[in-house]
Structure 1
Amino acid sequence: MDTIKWLLDGDIVIQTLTRQYLLDETMHHRNGGLIQRYLECYDPERCMWRNSVYSKKWVSSTYTLLELKYMEIYPLHPTYQAATQIVLDELWQNKGYISKTKQQDMCMAAMVLSLVCYGQFKNEKIYEIVDYILEYQMGDGGWNCAYNSVHNQSCVGSFHSTISVLEALFDYESNGYTYRLNEVKKQTQQAQEYLLKRHLFKSLRTGDVVHPDMIQFHYPCRWKYDCFRALEYFCKIHYPYDSRMNDTLTLVNESLEKGWINRGKKYPGKIHFSLETGQKGAFNTFRGLFILKHYDSQAFQRFISAYHCDEISEESSVRLHV
């Protein structure tokens, strides 16, 4: 199977991601295909999806915007801008306090920061969120939404919260924000080590897999963690290879043995529409190849070579007919 050609025959979103990140072609934002379908579900009067900022999973504005961000909608698109402004206004009020004693959920704060930074917002609330994130990092380097829970308080990091914060801080730095940047970089390094010390999915205490879902491909990831999402993050920041990534890289190679990766497990909840049909998962296959390109170039080249050989054969055929 020519995996690259199969991806290039898919939705315009997958085509663009494949050309940009696997074939190193310069691409511009193309708001067609699945992106356009999401935009058609938008309510311009309320500036949101399904009349919900967050609570209606997975059709609320927050989760829809996260999908559009991953698909790389043009960040200054008026719909993205208007909907993200509503999310910011609704989910971050009173410097993050949702009651007299309780502040916003850490994962939600990270999601909001990620969305507004991608949209290149200029708003004082951004700095409030950064202050909040930096203040409540755990001693082990991670973050945890349960740091201030009344009934289930935790003093250790969570994979889920930590990856959400790391992605948000990457969006913050890569979009040129500089407020408390040295501290952001320092605490980012501690959080990266939190994941790597656990080989991206293992208990630090027992060495066992923390949860079976963490070693399965999912798309969209929602707020959930899997080890492939962690490696995608490390790819995006150009983090050097670390031997503690090996177990996850093995899983990626095993998943790609048939030339594609399954669509993966779905998280329960409402969706706007099905992104893919059938067993093959174009998004997960793209994710796997993106990881291999950065950390296992030999394996990645096998897929690229098949694509280039096919291209050469087609060109030769054209010349013969001419």
Structure 2
Amino acid sequence: MTVLDWLLGGDVAIRWQASESLSGEQELVATSGWGARLLAAQDWSGGAFLPREGWDRDVEPQPWTGVESTLTLLRQFGALLPAELVERIAQGCRWENDNQPFFDGETEPCINGRVVGLGVYFGRDVSAIVGRLLGEQLDDGGWNCWGSPRSSFDTTINVLEGLQAYEQMLDAWPELTEARRRGEEFLLERRLLRRRSTGEIVDPGYLRLSFPVRWHYDVLRGLEYFRGRDDPRLDEARQVLRDKRQPDGTWLLEHTHPGKVHFQMEEEGRPSRWNTLRALRALGAGTD
């Protein structure tokens, strides 16, 4: 069995992305398999991003069953949602801190970068969030949450993904392009995994491949962002990813971020269709 055959034996959310000949199956994502299970599990009448009661952020992992996490997965699946359903989310879903409408964004750049990507994908106006993110860029070129003066890989990749989607699908202007390029340089100067000051690996966790990635950075997520980019500063990260390829041509699910989920898609420590698909694309290997 080839790697492509193995990918095509998975959920429709993977199949349609693995082969151009099956791109028409994207229409099935919302009505079958994992996409349908997510839609059946979510209370689409509205609600807070995180539970208002019964969750203690100091002792429990963050639950991944809220609106943002669920929508992010549906976007990664390529689910095509009815306009009326997206409108119900826009009208009924509120953030827990100040009761803001969902597509108005939250307060932290790491979250708002993802909301920008969701707004672009689901056809909502998120231009005000983009403006806020440009104003929150730090002196070193990246972004961080909780008022930190130094950027983090995690927040920066979340913001960059949102800005990139906005530029590619909607609009670009000089200030936006310059901010995105500065953010990219923050990661590239560090070769996607090292401290600029000492050359040490920033976090061993960045070398573990996960999916869903949630708000976390890892080397595969960084390489996905820079997919197709010709820059020698990406060489080390690409080699790290190549070295993780198994003898059968697959990549493993090396880590799962703890927290409540609607359902488990893949088993940690086993070959991962998601990570294999993502790694092949990030390395420019293709699947067809």
Q: Aligned to 2:155, which of 156, 161, 169?
A: 161
- Counterpart in the other structure of 2:257: 267
Aligned equivalents of 1:24 and 1:241: distance in 2?
29
Q: Which residue of 2 aligns with 1:307?
A: none
Asked whether 1:120 is paired with 2:120, we answer: no
Matched, 1:241 2:230: yes
On the 8 A contact 2:48/2:94 being kept in 1, the answer is no
What is the alpha-carbon distance in structure 2 between the residues aligned to residue 167 and residue 7 of structure 1? 25
Structure 1 window deviating more from structure 2 (215-224 vs 247-256): it is: 247-256
Alpha-carbon separation, structure 1, partners of 2:18 and 2:49: 31
For residues 287 and 29 of structure 1, the distance between their equivalents in structure 2, rounded to whole angstroms, comes to 21
Superposed displacement of residue 4, structure 1 = 1.1
Q: 1:284 aligns with which of 275, 282, 287?
A: 275
- The answer to whether the Cα contact below 8 Å between 1:216 and 1:265 also exists between their aligned partners in 2 is yes
**Distance (whole Å) between structure 2 residues aligned to residue 199 and residue 88 of structure 1:** 37
Superposed CA RMSD? 2.7
Q: Select 1:252's aligned residue among 241, 244, 259.
A: 241
TM-score, structure 1 length as denominator?
Answer: 0.76
Confirm or deny: 8 A CA contact 2:109 2:133 kept in the other structure: yes
Query: Which runs of 5 or more structure 1 residues have no equivalent in the other structure?
Result: 149-153, 294-299, 305-322
1:70 aligns with 2:76: yes
Are the equivalent residues in 1 in contact too, given 2:48–2:95 (CA < 8 A)? Answer: no
1:84–1:116 Cα contact (<8 Å) kept: no
Change (3 A) 1:93 1:80: closer
Aligned pairs for 1:22-101 (under 5 A) are 28-31=26-29, 32-44=32-44, 46-47=45-46, 51-54=47-50, 57-74=63-80, 76=82, 78-87=84-93, 93=100
What is the Cα deviation at residue 227 of structure 1?
A: 1.5
Answer whether contact 2:41 2:262 (CA < 8 A) is retained.
yes
Amino acid at match of 1:214: Y
Find the residue that maps to 2:210 and give its secondary structure. Answer: coil
Q: 1:30 to 1:174 in 2, by over 3 A?
A: farther
Greater CA drift, 189-198 or 81-90? 81-90
Distance change (3 Å), C-alpha of 1:88 and 1:75: farther
Q: Which of 216, 222, 227 matches 1:230?
A: 222
Equivalent AA in structure 1 for residue 246 of structure 2: E
Q: CA deviation at 1:229?
A: 0.5
Tell me how far apart the structure 1 counterparts of residues 48 and 99 of structure 2 sit (CA, whole Å).
15
Give the 5 Å matches for 1:114-193.
114-122=117-125, 126-146=126-146, 148=147, 154-178=148-172, 181-193=173-185
- Give the gaps of 5 or more residues in structure 2: 52-61
SS at 2:19 equivalent:
helix
Bigger radius of gyration among the two: 1
Q: Which residue does 2:58 correspond to in 1? A: none
In the TM superposition, residue 175 of structure 1 has moved relative to its aligned partner by 2.2
SS at match of 2:6: helix
Q: What is the count of residue pairs matched by the alignment? A: 272
8 Å CA contact 2:12–2:26 kept in 1: the answer is no
Quickly say closer, same or farther: Cα 1:174–1:204, change in 2 above 3 A.
same
- The percent identity for this pair of structures is 28
Offset, 1:75: 5.1
Stretches of 4+ aligned residues off by more than 3 angstroms: 23-29, 75-81, 84-94
Q: In 2, distance between residues paired with 1:84 and 1:212?
A: 38
**Match of residue 17 from structure 1:** 17
1:219 paired residue number = 211
What do residues 19-41 of structure 1 show as CA deviations (whole Å, max 9, x unaligned)? 14xx7967643322111110111
Q: Deviations over 1:195-247 (max 9, x none)?
A: 00000010111111111110111100000001110111112xx4x31111111
Conservation of the 8 A alpha-carbon contact between 2:251 and 2:271: yes
